[in-house]
Amino acid sequence: MEELIHIKDKSFVPYISEQEIMDRVASLGAQLNQEYADKSPLMIVVLNGAFVFAADLARELTVNPEIQFIRISTYGDSMTSSKDAQLLLGLEVETEGKDVIIIEDIVETGFTVQYLIDNIRSHNPSSIKLVTLLFKPEKFEGGHKPDFVGFEIPSDFVVGYGLDYAQQGRELKALYQLKAD
Ligand code: IMP
Ligand code: MG
């Protein structure tokens, strides 16, 4: 039986296994290989959370992607979304005329990624698609909907596979969900 994970004051229960994630990432990779068969897309990986997902996804690709990283800061506590986003690292990434694939760990309200999409769009890419490992549709407030989703999940907080609670838990191989008190 898998165990509870404890991070600071919270406990988390196993939610999506390493094997389920691997299978889903492989099929997302296959979809992207079809979609970008005659192109050489630019993957823009949103740090910090998407680093694990992006590393696995990139290794499923056969379309010679260019890979770049950016970081967006959001303000607020570690369990809720914030409407204020600010680009911290990048975009000295050249996106003009490129087929951009944004790689996110999770889209909740959509504010964070919308800020990035608006920024990239002003640099005339030839296309922009959004790939996210996790999507919480109940909290989505509009804007660019994810084009490729690993798992649609309820609004409960999750950690692991790159996602953190207070900067911890990113190294976990599976996804864990906050345990109700
Ligand atoms: P959005 O701007 O509401 O779409 O917020 C997405 C951001 O909130 C993500 O990039 C994460 O940093 C954070 N976030 C939302 N839900 C979770 C979660 O369940 N676990 C960890 N981080 C989350
Ligand atoms: Mg993130």
pLDDT tens digits, 54-68: 999 999 999 999 999
Counting from 1 in the atom list of ligand 1, the atom nearest the Cα of 85 is 2
Length of the chain: 181
pLDDT: is 83 or 100 the higher one? 100
Is the minimum distance from the CB of 109 to ligand 1 under 6 angstroms? Answer: yes
Does 108 sit in the ligand 1 pocket, CB within 6 Å? yes
Residue 165's H or E segment, with its range, is none
The backbone torsions φ and ψ at residue 63, rounded to the nearest 5 degrees and listed phi first, read: -105, 20
Ligand located closest to 113 CA:
1
Q: What is the pLDDT of residues 20-46, one digit of tens each?
A: 999 999 999 999 999 999 999 999 999
Q: Express as a percent the part of the chain with pLDDT over 90.
A: 78
- The reported pLDDT for the residue numbered 103 is 98
* Cα 68 from Cα 55, distance rounded (Å): 12
Distance from the CA of 94 to the center of ligand 1, in angstroms? 26
> CB neighbours (10 Å) of residue 46?
24
Residue nearest to atom 13 of ligand 1 (CA): 81
